[in-house]
Chains A and B, each alone.
Chain A
């Protein structure tokens, strides 16, 4: 068993590999974000008997780049009545937590370089799950701030909705995860992956099906995707919290939405589907699982109507929360008595 590479045994190699991992993960996530918009338009297009983008490049493949350029060159409007600083900060505050959450997600086993074991994970926090929940909680500040700083009534309503929604669903999501680490006995994502590393049947989706369903549904609510896309509900609130945004700032909100989708898919894959385990190389397995969940989210968007605010609250507090608690009690009983 080779020694784990750390800052103390070979600082230069450690730092350069760390930078390389960060860069690689960042680029991959950015690329998926760009092409997730393309995939979403193509897939939903097919589901709705349309074609999706076809004109920009072969099969419309350059569409995300064209969209990015267009948004970049648009006039950047800051409403006169807004509070400028908060208005500028909000898009960043929503995008950054989405990106830095990826840091704790393991995307493969260890590789041996120069006699040292190097984990394919940017950093392994021993409180990885708490970190993820904390970052998810931070993301909502961006939305609330955007809604408040725009000084527009539609944005404000969107921001308020979002705050209420994320708080109620984060509870249920957090409680759903508790059942997972009751089984694994660790909060570190690396540890959770290791606990599922036996056969496919060791994946927590089989021992925790209820927690899995709860987590997927509540994550949908946390990242504001259909059927829980109330904060931006375009037919009710025009565009919700980002009504007043334009140009690159609007693009940041858009990127954050897709980055969040990737993050949530990756977390679900890690917690319930064995993370990088599977027939191919680790990162590819993880990516395939991520793509599966993203496809699921897109599919749901093409199928379901939007729930109403009070129904959303009802479901969060009176359905998902008790179910998650019940799941914890059952899991606890099983862990203790069996």
Chain B
């Protein structure tokens, strides 16, 4: 009898389709995966610890670098948590809330576009990749107009926004969401009905609803297993309860349904953005909480009181009451949560981040065991992981 041996293969951290620096140690029997062990930590920067040595305002830019494909969602989660810690959640001006929702949804589209691009590329459909990046570029341009940076936006502030919308910005957003459903149809035209695409995704990387809940899967991956759960609807924040949108759920538990889910989510995001644009009224963009929010620039340069006010916030920061809060937001990839402990000083005592990718990655071994090597690639793609968020 021939001796049966398995082959161990190190997939990553330098591999074209592990989405960054994920290392997968695969045990292969021919092309069949016997065992898959993800190794993480190659991108660890100690974001949680760094935050403990910064004032609350200054810890905000760190969050841009978590899920670098969806910086505004990370910003949103952080500012909402700090606002909850300060107890000023209901003092946030309406305009700031609407802009936050608008930008969070644009960010969702942006993140999903990168997911679709890389997922399709991994499975071999090269053209979709470039089409998606063409549309993503428009959102990047909006980011740049808004915050001056294409990726690390750092736009939201504790208490509101850093700047008001630039001139013509709303027109950009409107024309973008007018075109986007057409673009989505183009992507679907290339993929959804394609027999090869269906063969590569239907029934691939399955995860049952129970397993998904046990693992703590969130976001489109959870909703692809038929669990109807979306924080925007079930635990609304930043005024999401005032928007009319559907939570897309499918119960196929496979890659194809997760793919359809995300595409439909982009359509829903367009609807939300349209409602946000309609709701947008002129008004203040920062809460009237002088202890926390910076004074308007006009006061800083024209009056000594304004200058001192700004100086005090910049140098000392603000000191929330001792306590601890948790706030989760529905980031593009799932539930992004911040658990913040204050000891009454100007720096967070502890900032624990619950990144969706980190938790979702746990589903990978379960999804690929006994499947083929090519399915591993599809599974990594369908989980939509970002290593910046996993390693923090």
Residues on A facing B (Cβ under 8 Å):
44, 47-50, 153-154, 157, 160-161, 226-227, 229, 233-236, 238, 301-311
Report the bound CA distance from A44 to B130 in whole Å. Answer: 11
From the candidates B15, B127, B373, B375, name the one contacting A48 in the complex (CB within 8 A). Answer: B127
Inside 8 A of A226's CB, which chain B residues have their CB?
A: 124
Residues on B facing A (Cβ under 8 Å):
7, 9, 15-17, 30-31, 120-127, 129-131, 134, 190-191, 194, 196-197, 199-200, 372-377
Contacts A48-B130, A235-B124 given; indicate if A305 touches B200 (C-beta within 8 A).
yes
A308 engages B199 (CB within 8 Å): yes
CB proximity of B83 to chain A, nearest CB, Å: 42
The binding surface of chain B is classed by DSSP as helix
From the candidates A47, A154, A303, A310, name the one contacting B372 in the complex (CB within 8 A). Answer: A310
A235 engages B16 (CB within 8 Å): yes
From the candidates A50, A160, A302, A308, name the one contacting B374 in the complex (CB within 8 A). Answer: A308
Contacts A48-B127, A238-B15, A311-B199 given; indicate if A304 touches B194 (C-beta within 8 A).
yes
Report the bound CA distance from A273 to B372 in whole Å. Answer: 39
Inside 8 A of A153's CB, which chain B residues have their CB?
A: 7, 9
CB proximity of B202 to chain A, nearest CB, Å: 11
From the candidates A50, A235, A311, name the one contacting B122 in the complex (CB within 8 A). Answer: A235
B127 engages A236 (CB within 8 Å): no
A306 engages B127 (CB within 8 Å): no
Inside 8 A of B197's CB, which chain A residues have their CB?
A: 305
List 9 other contacts, CB 8 Å, given A157-B31, A236-B377, A311-B199. A50-B130, A227-B124, A235-B124, A236-B373, A302-B127, A304-B125, A305-B194, A306-B196, A310-B372
27 contacting pairs across A/B (C-beta < 8 A): A48-B126, A48-B127, A49-B134, A153-B9, A154-B9, A157-B31, A160-B30, A227-B124, A227-B196, A233-B374, A234-B16, A235-B16, A235-B17, A235-B121, A235-B122, A236-B17, A238-B16, A302-B126, A302-B127, A304-B125, A305-B124, A306-B123, A306-B196, A308-B199, A309-B372, A309-B374, A310-B372
Report the bound CA distance from A157 to B17 in whole Å. Answer: 17
A157 engages B373 (CB within 8 Å): yes
A305 engages B9 (CB within 8 Å): no
Inside 8 A of A154's CB, which chain B residues have their CB?
A: 9
Contacts A47-B127, A48-B130, A235-B124 given; indicate if A308 touches B17 (C-beta within 8 A).
no
Contacts A48-B127, A49-B134 given; indicate if A235 touches B190 (C-beta within 8 A).
no
